[in-house]
């Protein structure tokens, strides 16, 4: 399984991004493929928050359209919603201790812990995932 980070979702809908084509091609292909595509609520909520924010995108999405996009992803045949297991807090704490900080890495540590728990990898353009031992990550462009 591959768990999708928020930046891939944002790039997939942002036609002006340099990563738009690779993100959209990977996401569309993965969602119609045989392998599972994992979605977690933290990146999905980040997507809704950011694509509806005025001033961030030239034409922000309406909340209804953003939530509709999330619903479309979640109802794709290969989509699964991934949730923390009983060991999540311990894994996340160890990952944050390993990198020696929290702050902007808290959400990344959450996704990294989910990946370890579910024997998955992360798909992201965020190179900070390379700082966490014991999990794998790939850029969408590397998976095409």
User: Residues marked as binding?
Assistant: 5, 108
Which residue, chain included where needed, has tokens 């909340």?
A: 63
Binding residue positions for Mg(2+): 5, 108
| DSSP conformational letter for 116 | H
Number of Cα atoms under 13 Å in the Cβ half of residue 73: 28
Report how far residue 108's alpha carbon sits from residue 92's, in angstroms, rounded to the nearest whole number. Answer: 9
Q: How far apart are CA 9 and CA 67, in angstroms?
A: 13
Q: How many CB atoms lie within 10 A of CB 132?
A: 24
């Amino acid at each position: 399984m591959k768990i999708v980070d928020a930046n891939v979702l944002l790039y997939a809908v942002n036609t002006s991004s340099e990563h738009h084509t690779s993100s959209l091609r990977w996401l569309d292909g993965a969602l119609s493929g045989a392998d599972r595509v994992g979605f977690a609520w933290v990146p999905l909520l980040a997507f809704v928050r950011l694509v509806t924010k005025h001033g961030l995108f030239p034409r922000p999405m309406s909340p209804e359209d953003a939530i509709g996009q999330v619903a479309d992803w979640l109802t794709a045949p290969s989509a699964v919603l991934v949730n923390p297991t009983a060991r999540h807090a311990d894994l996340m704490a160890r990952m944050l201790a390993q990198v020696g900080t929290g702050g902007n890495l808290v959400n990344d540590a959450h996704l990294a812990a989910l990946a370890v728990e579910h024997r998955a990898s992360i798909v992201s353009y965020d190179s900070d995932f390379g700082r966490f031992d014991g999990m794998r990550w790939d850029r969408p462009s590397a998976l095409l």
